[in-house]
Amino acid sequence: MARQSPFHGVPGLSYLARGGWPSGAGEALPIDPGRNDESGHEPLERALYRAVFISDLHLGTAGCQAAPLLAFLKHHPSHTLYLVGDIIDGWQLRRKWFWPQAHNDVVQKLLRRSRKGCRVVFVPGNHDEFARQFDGHNFGGIEVANEAVHTTADGRRLWVVHGDHFDGVIQCAKWLAYVGDNAYEFTLRMNRHLNSLRARMGLPYWSLSQYLKHKVKSALNYVTDFERAVAAEARARGYQGVVCGHIHRAEMREIDGTLYCNDGDWVESLTALVEHHDGRLELVHWGGAHGAAMAQRDVAPPVAEPVAEEQTMS
């Protein structure tokens, strides 16, 4: 039976094709890329990327940036797509049902991508831990795996895991309370009000911002500890690197000889990790700054700009 291209009819691709589709394929899109599995079986035709990793979409919350995410997915077809946890926010949905059409569109897009031949692997996180009981099962073609191993085109084995298990290891699960620029700016405004009130009450100045700076610093220590702990575990398990999410902080660097990649999130930073066909890994930030992405999402599709290029592995 004839199978269509996995990206047949996806408008974003013709946009990319105009921008210079490799090997002069023009509007003719790849047909049946096949499955890119651990057996080393290479797809017959090329999608734009060998693999794409995204995490922390938090579908089901108002914070989820579904529109830029849909635009990103359109423009980043791949042979394999890893969903590295916190895709659907079961914690929030239990509290309050929030499911706009755009969130449905994301789920539909993921299912459609799988139907059209892209291998989609869902590695559940803590916010969608309900899915962990389905380890090894398959839903609409989407494989559920509590952890996965991705082998890059240049033969490196990367451990793919959400990362929440390391919260316990570093004993600081409350980090989220202290990060986020918006919350920080808000507290700086609060500081002014607080101190004008204190002045009227005859109390001395007390710096909320100093206090919070200290808190932010401990949050940064948390991030570093998290990164080191995850990389050390990957190394102990014999992998050359790790891809995770969870802390909403995109990063790619070597830690003691192990490649640490965090694909970021789709709440604030709008970042993803992509693997090129030669095995080169790259962090992409959709549409530059968050504000720019918000401004552009209803106008022209932004072009993802690389935010970090991988250091050569020793």
Q: How far is the CB of 103 from Mn ion (least distance, A)?
A: 18
CB 51 within 8 A of CB 274: yes
> By Cβ distance, which residue is nearest to Mn ion?
246
Closer CB to Mn ion, 12 or 245, in the complex:
245
Q: How far is the CB of 270 from Mn ion (least distance, A)?
A: 17
Closer CB to Mn ion, 90 or 287, in the complex:
90
- Residues 160 and 74: their CA atoms lie apart, in Å, by 23
Closer CB to Mn ion, 130 or 206, in the complex:
130
- Residues 10 and 7: their CA atoms lie apart, in Å, by 5
Quick one: CA dihedral 12, 103, 263, 181, positive or negative? positive
- Residues 216 and 88: their CA atoms lie apart, in Å, by 27
Continuous H helices in the chain:
11-18, 66-75, 90-95, 101-115, 165-170, 181-200, 208-236, 290-296
The DSSP letter of residue 307 is: E
CA 294 to chain centre: 17
Q: How far is the CB of 265 from Mn ion (least distance, A)?
A: 9
- Residues 159 and 151: their CA atoms lie apart, in Å, by 9
Closer CB to Mn ion, 61 or 126, in the complex:
126
Closer CB to Mn ion, 235 or 246, in the complex:
246
What type of residue is 43? Answer: P
Three-state DSSP state, 230: helix
Q: How far is the CB of 5 from Mn ion (least distance, A)?
A: 33
Closer CB to Mn ion, 128 or 310, in the complex:
128
CA angle 302, 308, 312 (to 5 degrees): 140
What type of residue is 282? Answer: E
For Mn ion, the binding residues (CB under 5 A) are 86, 125-126, 164, 246
Q: How far is the CB of 85 from Mn ion (least distance, A)?
A: 6
Which among 226, 229, 187, 177 has a CA at the least distance from the CA of 208?
187
Closer CB to Mn ion, 49 or 53, in the complex:
53
Q: How far is the CB of 34 from Mn ion (least distance, A)?
A: 32
Q: How far is the CB of 162 from Mn ion (least distance, A)?
A: 6
**Residues found in the chain:** 314
